[in-house]
Amino acid sequence: MSVLQTPIDYLKTVGPNRADLLKKELGVYTYQDLLNLFPNRYLDRTQYYKINQLQRNSAEVQIVGKIIHIKMVEQKRGKRLVATFADETGEMELVWFRGHKWIKDSLKLNTPYVIFGKCNWYNGFTMPHPELELLAEHKASIKSSMQAIYPSTEKLNNKGISNRIKIKLVQILFEETKGRFQETLSPNILEEFNLLSKSEALRNIHFPKNAELLAKAQFRLKFEELFYIQLQLVRKNITRKHKIKGYPFDQVGELFNEFYQNHLPFELTNAQKRVIKEIRNDLGSSAQMNRLLQGDVGSGKTIVALMTVLLAIDNDFQACLMAPTEILATQHYNGLKELVKDLPITLKLLTGSTKTAERKVIHQDLEDGSLNLLIGTHAVLEDKVQFKNLGLAIIDEQHRFGVAQRAKLWKKNTVPPHILVMTATPIPRTLAMSLYGDLDISVIDELPPGRKPIKTVHRYDSNRLKVFAFIRDEIKKGRQVYIVYPLIQESEQLDYKDLMDGFESISRDFPQPGYQISIVHGKMKPADKEYEMQRFAKGETQIMVATTVIEVGVNVPNASVMIIESAERFGLSQLHQLRGRVGRGAEQSFCILMTGYKLSNEAKTRLEAMVKTNDGFELSEVDLKLRGPGDIMGTQQSGILNLKIADIVKDNDILKLARHTAIRTLKEDPNLSLEKNKLINYTYQLLGKHKNIWNYIS
């Protein structure tokens, strides 16, 4: 066992109590974990102040002097320990509000100390809970002009595990290991990018000699962390293509050609053509397709999905399309049924509300192969649903399905079907590289011709009358309008009240019989919801007042105005999805973001981004900067990028470099068996053994 796998309990001065705290509070179980506990920030410790030079600015300062007097002072609650600290220019007070006994016993009078902390002014300077070090020890320890500040918690501070103690522990670790650590990258990579060795990088991340060496150490360690993540993902992708055989769809047959030549409702965009070509290449090879298709709202993913289905049917296979909600599954079913109405294809819809008799027919038709395409919700995953020969599975909005559910689809066949995962939630390129690096990614990055960009504006509540006048004009032109209210789980009562208040005020401003209004919210029965949606879709009502239930799955080309109330309460991707409900016809569409005057900086940034661009990918990058990777993936995936030092937003360039290097390394040496890659292979095997990031990746 390497010395770095030694339990932290055995490090000098740690002992069982400290070990327990380090494990619980910081996840430090071994020497290796302590070594990888990287500082959050650094302080310049080259300067020493005199007491008469102190300013009232609460900056952190370092002073050399002696403690000349100690006393306990009674206060309303408990006591405080006060020490008078002096140098040749004056005196100040050091104050402790907790841990009195052991601090008092450890203090030495009239002995030179170095104190460090923030000064407050209260009839003279005081420093609460200072870091204290005997001058002699201060001079003897590993010195670094920039002092590391490590992650901490309230509990650690209360139990006396201060930053100084953490520095001390890392120093002891360096003494025990003599500061020598196993190299993890190959000599040619170190040379090509002029990287510090592993030992130098670790020494300079914990005890930087200067700012330049610190920057070099950070670059080296970030590159290494991202390189091994990419190596894992890229290798997984290559292995899967070699190992997991898929059915080769070797012919482009009658159905595909007939549809392409005679039934396409519009000319395909270049982006759609490119993506179909990528999919055809996958399906024609003997490897199993595992592709992520990203396309903004309204970019035409459905047509691409249908043409992939036709390829499957042409090669005598069945296909299924799975969507997260009944509304969306039904919309896919209606849309596809219309597109293939002149082709000899059978398709059926299976959801939670499909009647038992209808289910039996579907099960029978699937098993005897007479049903070509099944569209449905989670109901498709039930054990009773068995296919004769499933060759293609399409999953829409995959972030709403868990890994276990995807695995169930695989098991419907002896040979796993080809998988096409679709999403209209643009994933920032940086995140896609890190999370879906083992999937091949296709992007539809242009909208069908004839679509005008949606005009987006931000208006305050005080402009409401002007906004209502604008709505009347649009309705006069024969258009329809959405008005959406936020939905925040914790306060369902409040949301419902907001929605009902809004509905009442809109009913007053748009009275019957001149105007008809639909209302849709989560408390309604599915049948009532469907009835209201249909009325709006048929044009019987001009205004749809709703909560976010209409975020996905409502397609009314005649609706040209989307008004989002309390827009500051929505996330960027949700605002973008809602805006995508309009702009589906040839007319100019509008999105109006309504807010009060009180806005946080983050809300302002979101609204400005929405007004500035219609590009979902651009917005997703802004969102990633605002919220960080964990939030964007949703809580169920937040464990994924438990990165120690890299930040995939800020270190985007290093990520690209790491991925490029990983791809190149594996292209040249797929098994990492060359002599120069010996260290890489060793580290790679080691990482596989210890529970690490890899276990989370899809």
Which residues lie below 8 Å from residue 110, measured CB to CB, with a gap of 6+? Answer: 66, 67, 68
Q: To 5 degrees, how large is the angle CA 392–CA 423–CA 333? A: 60
pLDDT of residue 496: 62
Query: Tokens 């042409």 label which residue?
Result: 314
* Cα separation, 495 vs 504, whole angstroms: 14
Q: Where are the beta strands (DSSP E) in 274-378?
A: 290-295, 318-322, 347-350, 373-376
Burial of residue 48, with CB atoms counted within 10 A of its CB: 0-12 exposed, 13-18 middle, 19 or more buried: middle
- Bond from prior residue into 513 cis (ω within 30 degrees of 0): yes
Burial 102-113 (b: 16+ CB within 10 A, else e): ebeeebeeeeeb
Which SS3 state, helix, strand or coil, does residue 394 take?
strand
Residue 328, token pair as written in the block: 């969306």
Rounded to a whole number of angstroms, the CA Rg of the chain reads 32
Q: Count CA atoms closer than 13 A to 626's CA, side-chain side.
A: 19
In degrees, to the nearest 5, what angle opens at C-alpha 8 toward C-alphas 39 and 22? 55
- pLDDT tens figures, 536-575: 988 999 999 988 766 555 678 889 999 999 999 888 888 9
E strands in 75-222 = 79-87, 90-96, 112-118, 120-121, 125-128, 131-134, 146-149
- The full DSSP string for 259-286 is IIIII-SSPPPHHHHHHHHHHHHHHHSS
Domains of the chain plus CATH, in order, are 46-143 (2.40.50.140), 254-444 (3.40.50.300), 455-613 (3.40.50.300)
Residue among 674, 684, 676 nearest 187 (CA): 676
State the greatest distance between any 2 C-alpha atoms of the chain, in Å, as a whole number: 98
For CA atoms 311, 315, 316, 318, give the dihedral sign. Answer: negative
Give the pLDDT of residue 638.
Answer: 36
Which pTM was predicted?
0.65
Helix axis angle for 652-668 and 211-243, nearest 10°, is 50
Backbone angles phi, psi at 295, to 5 degrees: -155, 140
Spans of the chain, pLDDT less than 50: 489-490, 632-640, 691-698
Q: Look up residue 23 and give its two tokens.
A: 């494990």
Query: Which pLDDT does position 573 carry in this prediction?
Result: 81
Count CB atoms within 10 A of the CB of residue 255: 21
Q: Which of 511, 485, 445, 490 is nearest to 295 (CA)?
A: 445
